Amino acid sequence: MTIDMAQFHQVFFEESFEGLDAMESGLLNLDMGDVDEEAINTIFRAAHSIKGGSGTFGFTSVAEFTHVMETLLDEMRDGRRQITQGAIEILLGSVDCLREMLMAIQSGQEIDTVRVAGHKKALDTELDGQGNTTSTLANDSADQCLGESATVIMPATAVQGWRIAFSPHAHLLKTGNDPVRMFRELAELGELSVRVDFQGVPDFHQLDPEECHLSWDLQIIGDISREQIDDVFDWVEEDCDLAVQALTVQQPVTQPSGDVVKDRPEPVAESPEPTEVAPLKAELPAPSRKQHKPVAKNVPARPAGSSSIRVDTEKIDNLINMVGELVITQSMLSLVGEHFSINRLDQLKSGLAQLERHTRELQESVMNIRMLPINFVFTRFPRLVHDLSAKMGKKITLEMTGEQTEVDKTVIELISDPLVHLVRNSLDHGIEMPEQRLAAGKPETGKITLNAYHRGGNIVIEVCDDGRGLDKQKLQAKAIEKGLIEDNMPITEQQIFELIFMPGFSTAEQLSDISGRGVGMDVVRKNIQTLGGNIEIKSEQGQGSVFAIHLPLTLAILDGQSIAVGDETYIVPLVSIIESINVPEDMVNRVAGKGETFRLREEYLPIIRMHEIFSVENVRATKLSEGLVVVVEGQGVRCGLFIDDLLSQQQVVIKSLEANFRRVEGVSGATILGDGSVALILDIPGLVRLSNQQAAKAQQYYAETA
């Protein structure tokens, strides 16, 4: 009997990527000098499993590479070799290389043999006791058939610039990214020439102004690293086809021994001009950049969102039990239907109630299967903090709490990039240099904390640091300088913090390859809002900052309260509602041009008239005493929604309004009700912003006409 091994490949890849994550985490936690036998054993076992699996499936290149790693780990485990920082860095780089090899095999692409040979050379050099040197990552072909007395250094390849084929996907402009802004950043790195390709532009009557149909062939000359190029395109790597090719010249050969090595190519004389290269689109068929990222890339390439998840057998058992109960109820209802009479009406009602209960429980069981611990996102950050803190010369520790907090798989996949950007900002802008921290009376080691917890029907993810905090005066001055706000304009602390989410806004005094280019924070908020969430900031200058992301537990189903406003029906998330009350006129305070407030238990809350916000006609209640005020809270802000009446509570299936129509401020989505009509789901923080905007316009109008 022939066994098709391909059916087991997906399981192998998933287990291998999990093993690589375990290896990376273990290496980052190793103590210098002392051998922690259990930690080394954990790393060794993961490497051994990957080697065994790859050998079984015929992935010999992976098995051979992992064998060299295993040899180095075995010597550490036996105490024959001390743990050094150099060895850990080499092993971390090898983990990255191994991950890229597996990703290439999984996607059916060619393995980058040059990179593999470079990392293998570094491992061999460490095993030989020669330490880690940069040259060990060079091409291994120079070792072929050399005589013992000959000392030959192959012609060195010096990068003089880069050729970039950049072809955005049609939707790129809708993500908030601007190619012109990226070209501007490239021009700051070196001498840039740009050639645009119009072949993809459709006829005028088919042209969509919100889509990008152009592609570019870029050439940049200068002393520029590949990492700098990658950083410019970092946020669009999933939204474009990108090919990068080095423009190089050959440097003269150095041959100290004087011996002549035959059959070696003569060195090419150094030329001030880069070597001519063929058009990129002919030579590089837009490979995945994740396959060719440099070793020093801050965030190692990870597998794309997996199409499968692992589920605890207990969850499967619960689901099977629920299906069994549902089948029993269905059989009972079928029997009632076949022999129905008015005498069996109570039995029908009982069966329908039982069906409703079982359906709800089945729904909860199915949704629970999609829930994964947030640790799937958090695992990448120890490596990121380790690499960037070393690069910037800062001392930073990372603490993670609430890693087992569960959230929907879709949220897990989409929240990763915004979190990476927030952590990078904390590393670069938040945490000070050690000497600055000591001068401010702080410990020289800064701390970044990732925390996740449930609150109501939401998950809250916090990125906290004990750094310098946000400088409100500096933010306000920069906003005035850029013309975003007017001088002497009254503005709250929270509104000042909100300025950092405006496109192109940055207070960085100098650009870095970590952050400070004014691109990213606006995209961070846009991505979070796409998930139906919001982000809020708390900061104290000199003490640190907290960025709190509020997300729904699931993007599919919501517990909501239906409300009536005129002939329209809206859904308010149940977790946002505090209470509903009748407000008599004598409780209302009105300020000309600033709206209405009412007093509720020593607190003054603004009133948002829903029919005015959404321009609803035929409302039944225009006076506050005629309708109801629903007190709601979103992101720590309370307000009262003035409506005609409360309807029913129900679970609704969320449909994306932005995907099917366009984004509407104050609305997070839509749903289809039982009668087939469409109801909008309200976004409470968005409603507050919309109300404030309308109040500001009214205040301005009042001031102009007064």
Q: How many whole angstroms from its chain centre is CA 468? A: 24
Residue with tokens 């915004």: 418
Q: Which residue out of 24, 70, 126, 568 is catalytically annotated? A: 70
How many Cβ atoms sit within 10 Å of the Cβ of residue 516? 17
Write the CB contacts of 152 (distance below 8 Å, at least 6 apart in sequence).
Answer: 142, 146, 253, 255, 257, 261, 264
Q: Do residues 400 and 378 touch, judged by C-beta distance below 8 A? A: yes
Q: Do residues 156 and 139 touch, judged by C-beta distance below 8 A? A: no
Find the length of the chain.
706
Which sign, positive or negative, has the C-alpha torsion 320, 324, 325, 326?
Answer: positive
The DSSP secondary-structure symbol of 592 reads T
Q: Which residue out of 48, 386, 429, 550 is catalytically annotated? A: 48
Q: What's the 3-state SS for 189-237?
A: HCEEEEEEECCCCCCHHHCCCCCCCCEEEEEEECCCCHHHHHHHCHHHC
**DSSP one-letter string for 267-307:** PPPP-SSPPP---HHHH-----GGGS--TT-SS---PPPPS
Residue with tokens 């002392």: 34
Write the CB contacts of 647 (distance below 8 Å, at least 6 apart in sequence).
Answer: 561, 562, 563, 564, 569
- Closest to 196 measured CA to CA, from 205, 181, 183, 177: 183
- Closest to 351 measured CA to CA, from 334, 374, 372: 334
> What span, in angstroms and rounded, lies between the C-alpha atoms of 330 and 197?
62
Bridge partners of 219? 163, 193
Q: What's the Rg (C-alpha) of the chain?
A: 31
Q: Look up 70 and say whether it is catalytic.
A: yes
Which sign, positive or negative, has the C-alpha torsion 515, 516, 519, 522?
Answer: positive
Residue with tokens 């399981």: 11
> What span, in angstroms and rounded, lies between the C-alpha atoms of 688 and 672?
25
C-alpha distances (whole Å) from 511 to each of 57, 185, 215, 296, 516 are 47, 10, 27, 19, 5
Q: Look up 429 and say whether it is catalytic.
A: no
Q: Do residues 534 and 548 touch, judged by C-beta distance below 8 A? A: no
> What span, in angstroms and rounded, lies between the C-alpha atoms of 457 and 575?
6
Collect contacts of 610-616 with beta carbons under 8 A, ≥24 apart. Answer: 610/563, 610/565, 610/570, 610/641, 610/642, 610/643, 611/565, 611/566, 611/642, 612/694, 613/666, 613/687, 613/690, 613/691, 613/694, 614/565, 614/568, 614/666, 616/565, 616/566, 616/567, 616/568
- Backbone phi and psi for residue 26, each to the nearest 5 degrees, phi listed first: -65, -40
Q: What's the 3-state SS for 646-662?
A: EEEEEEEECECHHHHCC
> What span, in angstroms and rounded, lies between the C-alpha atoms of 151 and 489?
72
Both tokens of 253, joined, read: 């050969």
Q: Which residue out of 425, 458, 527, 534 is catalytically annotated? A: 425
Helix (H) or strand (E) holding 638: strand 637-643
Bridge partners of 295? none
Q: Look up 421 and say whether it is catalytic.
A: no
Residue with tokens 């606006």: 522
Catalytic residues: 48, 70, 425
